[in-house]
Amino acid sequence: MTLSVVFAILFYAAALLLIGGLARKIMVYSRTPAPLKIPTTPAPTTKSGVVWRMTKEVTVFQSLFKSNKWIWLFGWVFHVALALVLLRHLRYFQEPVWTVVTLIQPFGKYAAFAMLIGLGGLWARRFLVDRVRYITNLSDHLMLALLVAIGLSGLGIKYLAHTDIVALKTYMLGLLYFDLQPLPSDGFVLLHLSLVIILMVIFPISKLLHVPGLFFMPTRNQVDNPREVRHTAGWTAE
Amino acid sequence: MAADFDTPELFNNIEIIDTPKYEADTMAHSSPYVAKAVHNEKLGFPGELVDNWEQKAVSRLGELVDGSRALRTFLDSCVKCGACTDKCHYYLGTKDPKNMPVARQDLLRSIYRRYYTVSGKYFPKLVGARDMDKSVLDEWYSYFHQCSQCRRCSVFCPYGIDTAEISMAARDIMDTVGKGQKYCNEILGKLQTVGNNLGLPKPALLDTLEGLEEEVEEDTGVAVKYPLDVKGADVLLITPSADFFAEPHIDGLIGYGKVFHQAGISWTLSSYASEAANFSMFIGSGDNLKKVAQRIRDAAEELGVKRIIVGECGHAWRVAYSFWNTLIGPFDFLDPRYPAPQHIVEFTYDLIQRGALNLDKEANDHRRITFHDSCNVARASRMGNIPGGQFILPRALIKASANHFFDMAPETIHENTFCCGGGGGLLTDDLLELRIKGAMPRMQALKQVVDEHNVNSMVAICAICKAQFNKALPAYQFPMDMITSLHQVVGDAIQLGTKD
């Protein structure tokens, strides 16, 4: 029961840091002015054009596809697989489970492997491509190590040492409803959960800020209409 | 002067650009002359490196980040994916890894991290954060003057991170603590005192323009006017001052005059605003950007014109197209039927569409032409009403004026274009090695169309490109006079006297 309490506290703290940290960053981004029009051309000349441009960037990584097919392949596979895996995990936090979540379960299982392949490819580049090795910081390796470890420990629960998944779900639902339940104390489960907690904590202070950041990039989200609409903000509004 | 160096070799096969393995510090020795105190002070910066410049630099960085959403998101969001690492012409030409866009950004990002992020404050080693010290400043001075702010990296970054913005911020910080670059700051000073970058006073301008009128009349038998300070003209033409005397720029100016003449539109240049360029952008100085732009509005109001048209200059067009309305607008005193400002290419294109010009393509039959998309036009501005109009319109002008046109390889044109290597305030002899090496990718693509199509003329619409290619072409064994103004091609095709 001590373990259940400790993890409950850690989860609540991590959730607060994650949500609070991200909310703060998003607030800072939206309050920071963009004084000049700087979209990278050829840029859309309408708002709906910008929405379409951003949609392509977010879903199929359009610019990255143009820049480097290997990074695109590994990066895109990783992100899509991660999305599937996250959706699949919703079933541990829902009762009843959404139909969509039920439907993707079979794909979600394979997605874990795809995610690891994507991460492996990205990590390999950090050793094999001299230019990418040059720009890599220790934190870049640690981030990949963390994600890989989360994936592997998750697969460990699934394929090596099954846990009492019903009890685990009861614990998670308990966390959501502030009704503490016992946590199954299997090795892979504790490892998996600990690593996820670490990821939640570092998210708002790491390069994972590219997730909210992407939506605020003036080079991508500005409409190319400076002659038609007078734009002022920050020092250009003074 | 620059030390001796080897010009990169061009390859014969079609594989346009070979990504080199990096060789650390090949360009560590390259940095421009430092500005004298008098040049810095004229622009509102301290003359020399101030006391406690470390703190001042760090706090200026904080101010800039607070004032620019671009800078803040760019510094936070990079994941070091590496997509940009082979995209900078300076990296491809010099092999110096600090010329990879992400590595150049990291020169500034490492300081931002150290002083403004949790991870950098507590775990500097982990995230590559550094203290601000003299070695950092020297590195900034060297490598932020090896960026032509061409934005090619921004096209290829999955998030659109733009190293130009980061290099502008770094230069602003250096100016703020008293370490300015001579070339840019001296030029901005001349602009303030005389009205143009070259320091040409009004009598010299008048003399030049009269000379042009005589020359054109001698060549064509038609009295084409090149007017200065004419009140009540319809059009104010703002063009880079290089157009008044440098080759091949001046041939472009001759072409503009022929276009105006045949279209029968009254126009004028201004001796007060005899410069389209605005080097304030290169040094990231908002105050100066606005002040320099304001001259143009003042001149337009003083002369009472109805339209403002910008000549062939890349960054000037970026400033005009993207920033003028913000900085010195609204332009409600101009004729609302035309975009304000308008590019000379848009202007000529419209005339051609309306049949207002008689063009004889055969007049350019001795030219086999390719087109160099200038970076600031290609990646930071637009022409016409559609996205990508800046690629379509100049080519349409060439094709309307000449029979032989050949584009360079697709990965090196349009938004993928390679910079000439001299933009962003680097067009100075003390950076010649960088300029020549940085031109390599463009020269490689040019060689392909020369080999395959016997191209003998590369047209550009940027004063800096034209001046830079004057130096770069001979270094790569191409004839210097290959570089041609777009409006020279148009001007040569115009059948003067057929529309009077």
Q: What pLDDT shows up at residue B453?
A: 97
The C-alpha of B491 sits at a distance from chain A's nearest C-alpha, in angstroms, of 28
Cross-chain CB nearest to B73 (options A43, A71, A216): A216
Q: 3-state SS of A139-207?
A: HHHHHHHHHHHHHHHHHHHHHHCCCCHHHHHHHHHHHHCCCCCCCCCCHHHHHHHHHHHHHHHHHHHCH
Contact present, B47 and B38 (Cβ < 8 Å): yes
Cross-chain CB nearest to A224 (options B19, B85, B382): B382
- Chain A residues in contact with B330 by the CB 8 A cut-off are 230
Compute the count of residue pairs across chains A and B with CB atoms less than 8 Å apart: 208
pTM to 2 decimal places: 0.96
Inter-chain residue contact A209 with B77, CB threshold 8 Å: yes
B window 248-287, beta carbon within 8 A of A: 286
**CB distance from B53 to chain A under 8 Å?**
no
The C-alpha of B365 sits at a distance from chain A's nearest C-alpha, in angstroms, of 32
- Chain B residues in contact with A224 by the CB 8 A cut-off are 382, 387
Residue A205 clears pLDDT 50, i.e. is over it: yes
- Chain A residues in contact with B65 by the CB 8 A cut-off are 32
- Is the previous residue joined to B124 through a cis bond, with omega within 30 degrees of 0? no
Q: What pLDDT shows up at residue B13?
A: 56
Instruction: Please give the residue of chain B at the shortest CA–CA distance from A38.
Output: B380
**CB distance from B421 to chain A under 8 Å?**
no
Q: What pLDDT shows up at residue B10?
A: 81
Contact present, A45 and A225 (Cβ < 8 Å): yes
Contact present, B323 and B292 (Cβ < 8 Å): no
* pLDDT, tens only, A114-164: 999 999 999 999 999 999 999 999 999 999 999 999 999 999 998 999 999
Residue with tokens 């590219």: A210
Which run of H or of E encompasses A225? Answer: none
- Chain A residues in contact with B381 by the CB 8 A cut-off are 41
ipTM: 0.96
Inter-chain residue contact A37 with B322, CB threshold 8 Å: yes
* pLDDT, tens only, A15-37: 999 999 999 999 999 999 999 99
Cross-chain CB nearest to B82 (options A132, A227, A236): A132
- Determine the average pLDDT of the residues in A85-106: 93
Inter-chain residue contact B67 with A33, CB threshold 8 Å: yes
Q: Is B477 left (phi over 0), alpha (psi -120 to 50) or beta?
A: left
Cross-chain CB nearest to A63 (options B70, B158, B391): B158
B window 20-39, beta carbon within 8 A of A: 21-22
Residue A209 clears pLDDT 50, i.e. is over it: yes
- Chain A residues in contact with B385 by the CB 8 A cut-off are 45
- Chain B residues in contact with A225 by the CB 8 A cut-off are none
First-to-last alpha carbon distance for chain A, in angstroms, is: 60
Cross-chain CB nearest to B390 (options A41, A135, A218): A41
Both structure tokens of B133: 């010290």
B window 165-224, beta carbon within 8 A of A: 165
* pLDDT, tens only, B272-307: 999 999 999 999 999 999 999 999 999 999 999 999
**CB distance from B90 to chain A under 8 Å?**
no
**CB distance from B465 to chain A under 8 Å?**
no
- Chain A residues in contact with B320 by the CB 8 A cut-off are none
Residue A53 clears pLDDT 80, i.e. is over it: yes
Q: 3-state SS of chain B?
A: CCCCCCCCCCCCCCCCCCCCCCCCCCCCCCCCCECCHHHHHHCCCCCCCCCCHHHHHHHHHHHHHHHCHHHHHHHHHCCCCCCCCCCCHHHHHHCCHHHCHHHHHHHHHHHHHHHHCHHHHHCHHHHCCCCCCHHHHHHHHHHCCCCCCCCHHHHHCCCCCCHHHHHHHHHHHHHHCCCCEHHHHHHHHHHHHHCCCCCCCHHHHHHHHHHHHHHHHHHHCCCCCCCECCCCCCEEEECCHHHHCCCCHHHHHHHHHHHHHHHCCCEEECCCCCCCCCCCCCCCCHHHHHHHHHHHHHHHHHHCCCEEEECCCHHHHHHHHHHHHHHHCCCCCCCCCCCCCEEHHHHHHHHHHCCCCCECHHHHCCCCEEECCCHHHHHHCCCCCCCCHHHHHHHHHHHHHCCCECCCCHHHCHHHCCCCCCCCCCCCHHHHHHHHHHCHHHHHHHHHHHHHHCCCEEEECCHHHHHHHHHHHHHCCCCHHHEEEHHHHHHHHECCCCCC
Inter-chain residue contact B79 with A41, CB threshold 8 Å: no
- Closest to B307 measured CA to CA, from B350, B343, B271: B343
- Chain B residues in contact with A140 by the CB 8 A cut-off are 79-80
Separation of alpha carbons B444 and B454, rounded Å: 14
Separation of alpha carbons B447 and B479, rounded Å: 12
Inter-chain residue contact A207 with B80, CB threshold 8 Å: yes
Main-chain dihedrals φ then ψ at residue B48, nearest 5 degrees: -130, 170
The C-alpha of B94 sits at a distance from chain A's nearest C-alpha, in angstroms, of 14
Separation of alpha carbons B374 and B368, rounded Å: 19
Separation of alpha carbons B161 and B89, rounded Å: 17
Q: What pLDDT shows up at residue B1?
A: 42
Mean pLDDT, chain A, rounded, equals: 96
Cross-chain CB nearest to A42 (options B78, B162, B387): B387
Residue A76 clears pLDDT 60, i.e. is over it: yes
- Determine the average pLDDT of the residues in A180-185: 93
Selected residue of B26, B81, B100 to mutate for chain A interface (largest A Cβ count, 10 A): B81
* pLDDT, tens only, B323-370: 999 999 999 999 999 999 999 999 999 999 999 999 999 999 999 999
Q: Which residues of chain B, if any, have pLDDT below 70?
A: 1-3, 12-16, 500
Q: What pLDDT shows up at residue A88?
A: 94
